[in-house]
């Protein structure tokens, strides 16, 4: 079952721009002392101007009915706006809404996708929540090694619930499995530290396309979290396990695919695929990631492709739909 009392963590400090810091900081202070009317006055103008953390704050207030009528639909709207800008806070909270089925149909696979986006930025709460999804097999294949890895990443940032969950999980893993998990921890920490917005240099249809500028969360930004992890041994209610949105490579067999981007770093392909899924979840649901390495005169590139698709007509229709959203797309012949 889910925990009955959501927890709120508020981390405060000054941001780079003094005026901005005053507004967001005043909102956080007001929220912390229960002055929700003041918090709403501070955050709404920022949120309407597109600030992702203020949008996450408004989402939180609507989700919990603080200063406004409780409205999960409105909470979802603000969390989606925040998440779409790359906010780890907005992504994590949106994941929780999907996990709990608040304002949307309960969808564990979408929760996994949101948690993965947030966790990839090093966000401890999302890392711990993703660990719980792997441990329970909610929306993704059960994998204790991956669960242990995500719990460890969160625990090393001081997430006590993740540390407790890791301790409870440890007896279920062999020494070799724990070693695998810790190796993954080191690799994931390196990738997080080295993370940069994916650089598109080999565009799929030679059309100019803007680089994707990730909204990297500042360590000084106020963090608004809806709920902690499940307690050790606690599981989520039973629900249908839907199509997994996590990136999975195609193994063997010829199939029609579409190509969506080409990057100069293999490590960026997973993040780019996840971003594409977030922006086009209605079109890409059920498709899997295929990365094709290409040796070109200007260097090595990694082409982000999706499939399998049953025929050329299906691939063409999907490409047309994506292009209508200004997303580059090419058909890849088997």
Arithmetic mean of pLDDT, 142-167: 93
Neighbours of 233 (CB within 10 A): 10
What whole-number distance in Å separates Cα of residue 28 and Cα of residue 54? 10
For residue 5, the model assigns a pLDDT of: 36
Q: Which residues are CB-contacts of 212 (< 8 A; sequence separation ≥ 6)?
A: 197, 198, 200, 272, 275
Rounded Cα gap, residues 55 and 42, in angstroms: 11
Mean pLDDT (whole number) for 225-254: 33
Q: Model confidence at 286, in pLDDT bands (50, 70, 90)?
A: confident
Instruction: Report pLDDT for 241.
Output: 23
Instruction: Kindly tell me if the per-residue pLDDT of 44 is higher than 60.
Output: yes
Residue 181 confidence (pLDDT): 93
Angle ∠(85,214,287) on CA atoms, nearest 5: 80
34 within 8 A of 47, measured Cβ to Cβ:
no
Q: Higher pLDDT residue, 271 or 324?
A: 324
**Distance (Å, rounded) from C-alpha 262 to C-alpha 32?**
45
Rounded CA-CA distance 29/61 in Å is 14
List the end-to-end C-alpha distance of the chain, in Å, as a whole number: 46
**How distant, in Å, are the alpha carbons of 86, 145, 173, 287 from that of 179?**
32, 9, 10, 32
- Computed over every residue of the chain, the mean pLDDT equals 76
- The secondary structure element, H or E, covering residue 278 is helix 269-279
Contact present, 38 and 256 (Cβ < 8 Å): no
Whether residue 211 has pLDDT greater than 80: no
User: Does the structure show a pLDDT above 50 at 197?
Assistant: no
Read off the pLDDT band of 199 (50, 70, 90). Answer: very low
Better-scored residue on pLDDT, 268 or 161:
161
What's the pLDDT score for residue 194?
Answer: 62
Q: Confidence class of residue 254 from pLDDT cuts 50, 70 and 90?
A: low
> What integer is the mean pLDDT of 79-83?
93
pLDDT greater than 60 at residue 240: no
Whole-angstrom distance, CA of residue 308 vs CA of residue 290: 9
| pLDDT band of 114, cuts 50, 70, 90 | very high
- Higher-pLDDT residue of 274 and 331 is 331
| Residue 112 or residue 190, greater confidence | 112
Residue 268 has pLDDT above 70, yes or no: yes
How does pLDDT run across 288-301, given as a tens digit for each residue?
Answer: 788 888 888 888 88
Q: Which domains does the chain have, with CATH numbers?
A: 18-194 (1.25.40.10), 256-332 (3.30.70.1070)
| For residues 178-186, average pLDDT | 92
229-233 mean pLDDT? 33
pLDDT for 307 equals 86
pLDDT of residue 195: 56
Q: How buried is residue 311: exposed, middle or buried, by Cβ count under 10 Å (0-12/13-18/19+)?
A: exposed
Asked if residue 220 has a cis previous peptide bond (ω within 30° of 0), the answer is no
Q: Using CA atoms, how far apart are residues 121 and 143, in angstroms rounded to an integer?
A: 21
Query: For residue 326, what are the contacts with CB-CB under 8 A and spacing of at least 6?
Result: none
What pLDDT is recorded for position 245? Answer: 30
> Token digits for 225?
């979290």
Residue 29: beta bridge partners?
none
Measured distance CA(190)–CA(101) in Å, rounded: 34
Query: Which of the residue ranges 5-19, 47-61, 90-104, 198-212 would you say has the lowest mean pLDDT?
Result: 198-212
């Amino acid at each position: 079952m889910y925990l009955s009392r959501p927890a709120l963590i508020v981390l405060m400090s000054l941001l780079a721009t003094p005026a901005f810091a005053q507004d967001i900081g005043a909102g956080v202070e007001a929220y912390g002392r229960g002055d929700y009317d003041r918090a709403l006055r501070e955050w709404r103008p920022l949120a309407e101007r597109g600030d992702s953390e203020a949008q996450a704050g408004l989402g939180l207030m609507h989700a919990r009915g603080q200063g406004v009528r409780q409205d999960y639909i409105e909470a979802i709207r603000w969390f989606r706006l925040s998440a779409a800008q790359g906010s780890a806070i907005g992504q994590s909270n949106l994941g929780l809404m999907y996990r709990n089925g608040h304002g949307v149909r309960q969808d564990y696979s979408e929760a996994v996708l949101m948690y993965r986006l947030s966790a990839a930025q090093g966000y401890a709460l999302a890392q711990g929540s993703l660990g719980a999804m792997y441990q329970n097999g909610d929306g993704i294949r059960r994998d204790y090694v991956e669960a242990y890895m995500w719990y460890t990443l969160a625990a090393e940032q001081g997430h006590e619930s993740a540390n407790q969950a890791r301790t409870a999980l440890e007896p279920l893993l062999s020494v070799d499995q724990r070693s695998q998990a810790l190796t993954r921890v080191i690799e994931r920490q390196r990738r997080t530290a080295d993370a940069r917005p994916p650089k598109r240099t080999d565009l799929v249809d030679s059309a100019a396309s803007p680089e994707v500028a990730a909204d990297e969360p500042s360590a000084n930004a106020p963090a608004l979290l809806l709920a902690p992890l499940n307690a050790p041994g606690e599981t989520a209610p039973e629900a249908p396990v839907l199509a997994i949105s996590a990136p999975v490579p195609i193994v063997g067999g010829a199939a029609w695919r579409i190509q969506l981007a080409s990057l100069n770093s293999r490590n960026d392909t997973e993040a780019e695929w996840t971003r594409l899924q977030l922006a086009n979840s209605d079109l890409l649901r059920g498709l899997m990631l295929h990365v094709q390495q290409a040796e070109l005169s200007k260097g090595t590139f990694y082409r982000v492709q999706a499939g399998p698709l049953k025929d050329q007509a299906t691939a063409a229709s999907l490409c047309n739909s994506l292009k209508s959203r200004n997303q580059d797309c090419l058909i890849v012949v088997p």
